[in-house]
Amino acid sequence: MSGIPMRPYRDNPAVTASTPDLQDYYDSDLPAPHALSGIDDPYASSSYLHPAPDTRGNYVTASSSTPNLNMADTKGFSNMDTGAGYSGNNSQWLEKQQKGSRKSKWILILSLVGLAGLVAAGVAIGVVVSHNHKSSSTSSSSTAGKTSATGAVNQTNPNDPSTFVSDPNLKHSFWGLAYTPAGSQLPDCGNSLEDVIEDIQLISQLTSRIRLYGADCNQSALVLEAIKQTKVDLGVYLGIYNVPTDDGASYVRQRDVIKDAIQTYGTDHILGVTVGNEFILNYLTNNGGGDLPNGPVGEAGAAALIPNITDTRNMLQGMNLPKTIPVGTADAGSFFNNDVLQQVDYGMSNVHPWFANVSIDQAAGWTYEFFQEQNVQVAQSLPNKPTMYIAETGWPSKSSDAGNASNGPSLASVDNLQKFLDTFVCASNTNGTGYFYFEFFDEEWKDQQFGGVEGWWGLFNADKTLKNITIPDCHID
């Protein structure tokens, strides 16, 4: 290891104007907690950026080319009347024709008018055909069965969600995916079973595991019901998004609906219950605790969170379930409190190279190295040795404004999303890292509320069409 001191990175990187994410959808007074990363990261120029194969898996160096995909595509039809090439190339020819007879001139004029009409008609037809072709190709990835409302999934039996047709563009290559059903934000709760079923049909072709962030808007039951109807092999880490500032109200509300979901659907598809998402980070932020999760303010936050963890464990034990369900917590990569870690079976760490201002060429290696040094090694030093997972990692495909289109060294772009997929996914599968890729699809509400890159982390667009990417092909169960 390089010995470079590890400085915590958190939300609110000063170099960006984008309000940091993201998962603030359970209580309106909760600060947006996503990014977990910060500026001036020591790894930006360290030996960690060049991972050795024996310590980081098969990470490869991606191309340094990062075209600005925010620029509009200029290919297509040009203006055939006013294009510079058109008038310049024909001026001498027109002068020559003007010396001819009056009859020839009128013939020429009429001919040109006719030709212009034909060209205009041809262009119009071409545009219509092109538009129809684009619309058709977007929704015709498979020809069998009934097309869903969004055109994303087809079923051979429209009344049986388990008969969905696999998409050859999707590969079962992700250890896990971060997922929140659309419309799972209070107070509106606009999610639906139909939408969640379609999500699960797609997700199950990519992974065997998902993590939820919270339980509001009945999302736990919706996901478990969708798994039941689609008959897919998918495990779920349920989540309780408790808030440091509401005297436990959000915790009790979500704990109770999770209990109801378990009683209804059993434990076959439940992998764990995660209590808290960036709770310690939010507690430090709300109480002036700086970057010290094990300092006095961090200890106070731990004292507030641990009773929720203990209560969840007691609730599960009291249900006399056929198996023991692990209980864990999720937090920003640099903000785990050791007392909290000693009370859980697992920890989930948000590790984002984008918010740590790491270049796309070094992002995969940096993510692995940070996770090992900051999370895995610390957890292994504790008496209970909790299992550690990467709760979030990924790369944004665009920004809604030019000011946040770059993290310094690299752009938010589809090309760079592809590079991160190519350098992180299969290598992590090979080296045994448990991770939840962030995230399944773009969430428009995040863009509307926070701007910048916050709404553009999905593998899929918000309409559940796959982005212009190739999913790595390295199967993992």
Confidence band of 32 (pLDDT split at 50, 70, 90): very low
**Cβ neighbours around 241 below 10 Å, total:** 27
Least confident of 76-85, 257-266, 288-297, 323-332: 76-85
Residue 197 has pLDDT above 70, yes or no: yes
pLDDT for res 92: 34
Percent of the chain with pLDDT over 70: 68
Q: What is the mean pLDDT of residues 213-229?
A: 99
Output the average pLDDT for the chain: 78
Least confident of 54-58, 296-300, 306-310, 341-345: 54-58
| Higher-confidence position of 122 and 310 | 310
Confidence band of 8 (pLDDT split at 50, 70, 90): low
Residue 321 has pLDDT above 80, yes or no: yes
| Higher-confidence position of 282 and 61 | 282
Distance CA 322, CA 110 (A): 87
| Higher-confidence position of 64 and 466 | 466
pLDDT for res 89: 36
Least confident of 94-103, 162-171, 271-280, 428-437: 94-103
pLDDT for res 152: 75
* Lookup result for tokens 């692990």: 326
Q: What is the mean pLDDT of residues 123-147?
A: 35
Residue 277 has pLDDT above 90, yes or no: yes
Q: What is the mean pLDDT of residues 135-158?
A: 52
Q: What would the pLDDT profile of 377-388 be if each residue is shown by its tens digit?
A: 999 999 999 999
Q: What is the mean pLDDT of residues 361-384?
A: 98
The backbone region for 155, taken as left when phi is positive above 0, alpha when psi lies in -120 to 50, beta otherwise, is beta
Distance CA 236, CA 258 (A): 12
Q: What would the pLDDT profile of 151-193 be if each residue is shown by its tens digit?
A: 479 999 999 999 999 999 999 999 999 999 999 999 999 999 9
pLDDT for res 298: 98
Confidence band of 143 (pLDDT split at 50, 70, 90): very low
